[in-house]
Structure 1
Amino acid sequence: MVPINLLSWSLCIVPILLMLIFMIIFQWGVSKAAPITLVITALISIFFFKASGKLLIDEFLRAGWNSIGIILVILTAILSYEISYEARAFDTLNQLFKKIAPNELIRIILIGVVFASFLQGITGFGVPVLITAPLLLEIGVAPLWAVIIPLLGHSWAGTFGTLGLGWNSLLIQTGIQDHALIFHSALYASFFLLLLTIYSSYTIAYFYGGWKAVKKGFIAIAIISSIQGIGQIIFSTINPQLAAFIPSAISLGALILLSKTSLYRDEWRMENSKIMLQIKTEKIKKERGLTTHQALMPYYIVTIISLTILLIPFIATYLGSFSYGPRFTETSTGYGFINKSIEHYAPITPFTHPSMFLLVTSVLTYCYYRKKKIIQMKKFKPILLRAITKSLSPSIAIFALLSISRLMAGTGQTEVLAQGIANVLKDYYVLVAPFVGLLGSFITGSNMSSNILFGDFQLHVSEFIGLKTSAILGGQTAGGGVGTSIAPGNIILGTTTAGILGSEGRVLIKIIPLTLIIVSLFGLLLYLDYFFFF
């Protein structure tokens, strides 16, 4: 049995601390910080947690397999972006957003919160950040903030987004079947996420122009946050697959309508906003004359494909039946920590995977633009080469990050880290349960992976200590949702398309304090719920 003491717990936290030190203090990019941290994590695994050579190889292979799905999303998303860029679609979208939302603050919220959340409802895996960061750049947002805004803005949809993937992962991992427990867990999670969308949207407004901007956007933000948050509460207990998508789609329409009212129909902007570049964006060259529908074509296509395949039962069942996951035999450490054998590890369903949707979208968009003579035939090869080149550095970082995560999980370090906290805090564990979810998303890159990594542990800790299980599970996945905004994998997607690759540490410096505040609020609410209402 892996010893749970101060030494082992301290060693378990080393990889996380190193990543933070390298990225925040040394200002290294993920592609540099992650491989070095991986080497140190491997040495700790060998010499202190007695990992065998076979275990190390297996965990690296698992990480490689896990990386494939994410790397494919990165490549196909960047390919879609490059096709739109080549067609100068972003110029047209810039004009569209300005026409829809003359108020600059509302325009930022429209792109960085509402549109990013809409994309999260369908795709996920960092795609919303990757796509909206360049859109924010086009309307004059500074590169660093063009990454930070969608990271914060779409995080509320991290649990029920990707058509409920993160939520379903929690249910599968914990194996809970009690309908009452599932119902109340969904209520806790969605209530916390309501607070998150309110908090994130007003925070973005404050960064844009202080309290003056908060006052100016107060009504619009209150309305869209209510639609998103309350809508998610309702749908999370009825149809979790649509709990992020439908509210974000409704809020998109609501914000467009609000921009036609006397409150927001006039042009308005904050002078000398610290998140805006001081450039003139009024006159935009429209060299190729794309129509609005032509510029929006990729988003039409990905929405239609995603909803058709995933929400029509017989299509989803048929295409989802094609899957593959490699077989791994049982491994164990010198301490007897066992990784059970598995016949089909993390199976990928290629025809229902987000990368397939994005690939088909890219191909159809290119063919459409080619037919309309918006893009020349000879441009495809340069577009593809640019997409591959931009994908290389993020792909290396993703593999290194997932390898760190797998080594920590496969050698018992993750369990030691969490159990050490639980053993010390006991009843007060309710205060940190959301932080465990946050930690899971940070080290794995997604709420789905956080729920897989820590969901079962949170369930057993709540039962062992005697806590309210629904509250702990709700706190786990809500914390995981917050954690998507500081997941290095998501950050690197944004810095890639924003043209500031290597600035991930600067992004973390800005976001981490914000995440700690809201997750602390989750913990405090769980504490009050347990000690005063349980």
Structure 2
Amino acid sequence: MHIPVTFLTWAMAFLPIVVLIILMVTFHWGAAEASAVGVVITVITGFGVPVAVGAPLLMGIGVAPVWAVIMPLICQAWGNTFGTLAAAWDALANFGGLTAGTALYWKTAFWAAFFLWLWDIATGFIICWFYGKGKAVKKGFAAVLILSTIQGGGEFVLSQVNTTLCCFLPSLIALGAIFMLGRMKMYKDPWRLDDSPIMNRKAVTKKAAALPEGMTLVHAFIPYVFLSVVTLVVLLVPPIHNAASAFKIGLSFPKEVTGYGYTTAAVKGYSAFAPLSHASLFLFLSAVVGLVYYKSKGWIKTGGTGRVFSGSIAMTMPSGIAVVGLVIMSKIMGGTGQTIVLAEGISGVLGKAYMALAPFVGLLGTFMTASNMSSNILFGNFQMTSAKLLHVSPALVLAAQTAGASIGAAVSPSKIILGTTTAGILGKEGEVLKKVMVVAIPAALIVGLITLLAGVV
């Protein structure tokens, strides 16, 4: 097989990505529509929601709307890769060619968790600085170190044990630690800065909606308790985990050869997954348990169940279509040789210096798709191919990819629009983007420099 790596073939391979960027950034198309066009372009040119929840809560305690959007945008990267029971990490492993349990798999998780730990610590101090500069940093110093050690450090350690739970468990512990910090001598007394630039204390906040009669905090946490118990039991109890993982689903595909002779080998059970031990099943069962429990208590009225499902479908359908489109696009690019042409072109020009740009590729993917997982789907194979061609550590490059994708969530137009919509400041996207770019771009640059230095050494 030999695909000529000329400017023309490289440009043709890059065209689907360019189309995605233009449609989403210039013409403001959604990821679902843009990815569908990307698939068509790929075939014809081929060779053969933290901010939505966080913003209103922050506004409820007096944070100014613009800053109520900025803060969750920046901080959601803490759990972007290994959060949601490691959905984005699984996408990286799948499309980056990582086999679970291998040395390369664990090494990649090591570096990814390390990069995210640095971001965890940095964002804690950044938020303090936003609130009150030096005074707030001094006041919050101990809390930031404690919480980032629990969250980021815990994720770092557990990434070498169980990638599915390495964010989930530290998050639970960190949540409890917040309540404990409130009882410490340095934090138990009220403290605030009246002149904080991110606060809007004079604003009249809307009264919270009346709680369902008889509902307590314990009742509200029932689905999460169930999710925690089921997840821990199925994933941590060996006999149960082995039994649940035994049944797998995967399709068989024949060998394919393109016009340039690029061959994709035949495979049995391609990308097989175990539905009984998959994160999606735990999330679905938790939703059903919550629905049944609240309905039995009378907190979901007649017709409420239908509204819950229709609302869920309406919210998830666009992103679902987008992910399917991106998966198809990524696989066609990989299966026809376009990915390797892109990788050979970039590696031939930049050499090992490309490692410094690896996180920006991930950032670009999330900027385009508003999803760490989608970025990993789109560029995972490309990053792995580039690393092999350059003879550098794939673990470092893939880790930089997903770390950059996590950081990229802060500058994603789709996420920013979602935040400004829920905060009631639609039209302020430029103001938000201007402030988060000052944080996100240097962070990606630091990750890139560490990646390059670690790769060279």
Q: TM-score range by the shorter chain?
A: 0.7 to 0.9
- Determine helix, strand or coil for the equivalent of 1:347: strand
Distance change >3 Å, CA 6–CA 365, structure 1 → 2: same
State how far apart, in whole Å, the 1-side matches of 2:15 and 2:428 are. 22
Calculate the TM-score normalised by the size of structure 2: 0.79
1:88 corresponds in structure 2 to: none
Q: CA deviation at 1:365?
A: 1.5
Q: Against the structure 1 CA distance between its residues 174 and 505, is the aligned structure 2 distance closer, same or farther, given a 3 Å change threshold?
A: farther
Q: Compared with structure 1, are the counterparts of its residues 41 and 502 closer, same or farther at alpha carbon in structure 2 (3 Å cutoff)?
A: farther
Residue 184 of structure 2 is aligned with which of 256, 261, 282?
261
Q: Are residues 164 and 395 of structure 1, via their aligned partners in 2, closer, same or farther at CA, if it must alter by over 3 Å? A: closer
**Distance between the aligned counterparts of 2:325 and 2:201, measured in 1?**
34
1:145-192 CA-partner distances (Å, limit 9, x unpaired): 66654443232334444555655666672459775x666544433322
Counterpart of 1:217 (choices 118, 134, 140) is 140
Which residues in structure 2 correspond to 1:439-478 (within 5 Å)? 439=364, 458=383, 461-462=386-387, 464-468=389-393, 470-478=395-403
Q: Contact conserved, 2:409 with 2:415, CA < 8 A, in 1?
A: yes
Letter in 1 for 2:299: I
2:263 to 318, 334, 338: 338
Change (3 A) 1:327 1:137: farther
Give the counterpart letter for 2:10 in structure 1. W
Residues 1:236 and 2:144 aligned together? no
Question: Which residue in 1 is equivalent to 2:41?
Answer: 43
Contact 1:134 1:498 in 2 (8 A): yes
Deviation at 1:437, TM superposition (A): 4.3
- SS class of match (2:121): helix
What does 1:156-235 correspond to in 2, within 5 Å? 156-163=78-85, 173-175=97-99, 179=103, 185-207=108-130, 213-235=136-158
Match of 1:317 among 232, 242, 245: 242
1:152 aligns with 2:74: yes
SS in 1 for 2:223: helix
- What is the CA distance between 1:35 and its match in structure 2? 1.9
Rounded to whole Å, the distance in 2 between the matches of 1:177 and 1:488 is 36
Rounded to whole Å, the distance in 2 between the matches of 1:221 and 1:272 is: 19
Q: Structure 1 pair 444/381, CA: closer, same or farther in 2 (3 Å)? A: closer
Alpha carbons 1:394, 1:493 under 8 Å: kept: no
The separation in 2 between residues aligned to 1:169 and 1:394, in whole angstroms, is: 15
Separation (CA, whole Å) in 2 of partners of 1:413 and 1:197: 35
Which whole-Å CA distance do the structure 2 matches of 1:432 and 1:351 have between them? 38
2:9 maps to 1:8: yes
User: Counterpart of 1:260 in 2: which secondary structure?
Assistant: coil
Spell out, residue by residue over 1:189-219, the C-alpha distance to the aligned partner (whole angstroms, 9 max, x if none). 3322221112233334445566665454333
Among 416, 430, 444, the residue aligned to 1:519: 444
Specify the code of the residue in structure 2 equivalent to 1:152: I
Corresponding residue of 2:30: 30
The equivalent of 2:308 in structure 1 is 383
1:33-112 mapped onto 2 (5 Å cutoff)? 34-36=32-34, 38-39=36-37, 42-43=40-41, 45-46=43-44, 48-51=45-48
Indicate which of 208, 217, 220 corresponds to 1:292.
217
**Secondary structure of residue in 2 paired with 1:343:** strand
* Pair 2,507 (structure 1): closer, same or farther in 2 beyond 3 Å: farther
Partner SS for 1:334? coil
Unaligned runs of 5+ in 1: 52-125
Classify 1:140/1:381 alpha carbon distance in 2 versus 1 (closer, same or farther; 3 Å): farther
Structure 1 counterpart of 2:233: 308
Does the 8 A contact of 1:30 with 1:488 survive in 2? no
SS in 2 for 1:346: strand
How many residue pairs were aligned?
452
Whole-Å separation in 2 of the counterparts to 1:225 and 1:381: 40
Conservation of the 8 A alpha-carbon contact between 1:418 and 1:436: no
Using the TM superposition, give the Cα deviation of residue 11 of structure 1 relative to its aligned residue in structure 2, in angstroms.
Answer: 3.6
- Checking the alignment, whether the CA contact within 8 Å between 2:330 and 2:379 is kept in structure 1 is no
- How far 1:367 sits from its partner (Å)? 2.3
Cα 1:371–1:349 change in 2 (3 A) is same
The CA distance in 2 between the partners of 1:30 and 1:393, in whole Å, is 8
Closer, same or farther: CA 256–204 of 1 in aligned 2, 3 Å? same
Aligned equivalent of 1:422: 347
- Whether the 8 Å CA contact 1:405–1:444 is kept in 2: the answer is no
- How far apart, CA to CA, are the structure 2 residues paired with 1:448 and 1:324? 21
Q: How far apart, in 2, do the equivalents of 1:392 and 1:240 lie?
A: 27
Residues in 2 aligned to 1:337 and 1:422: alpha-carbon distance in whole angstroms: 20
TM superposition score normalised by structure 1: 0.69
Amino acid at match of 2:298: K
Deviations 1:345-374 (A, max 9, x none): 333433333332233222221222223222
CA contact (8 A) 1:159 1:166 kept: yes
SS of equivalent to 1:326: strand
Q: Could you list the runs of 5+ residues in structure 2 that have no partner in the other structure? A: none
Shift in Å, 1:521: 0.7
> Is this contact kept in 1: 2:339–2:381, CA < 8 A?
no
* Secondary structure, counterpart of 1:361 in structure 2: helix
Seen in structure 2, the aligned counterparts of structure 1 residues 350 and 178 have a Cα distance that, compared at 3 Å, is closer
Shift in Å, 1:293 = 0.9
Deviation at 1:143, TM superposition (A): 6.9
CA distance in 2 between partners of 1:495 and 1:464 (Å): 42
**Aligned equivalents of 2:367, 2:269: Cα separation in 1:** 26
Question: Greater shift after overlay, 283-292 or 133-142?
Answer: 133-142
Q: Give a deviation string over 1:206-233, Cα, whole Å, max 9, x none.
A: 4556666545433322321222222233
1:524 to partner: Cα distance: 1.2
Q: CA separation of 1:385/1:223 partners in 2, compared to 1, >3 Å: closer, same or farther?
A: same
Letter in 1 for 2:347: A
The answer (yes or no) to whether the contact 1:24–1:509 under 8 Å persists in 2 is: no
Query: RMSD over aligned Cα, in angstroms?
Result: 4.2
Q: Is the 8 A contact 1:321 1:349 kept in 2?
A: yes
Change (3 A) 1:507 1:396: farther
Matching residue's letter, 2:184: T
* Secondary structure, aligned partner of 1:327: strand
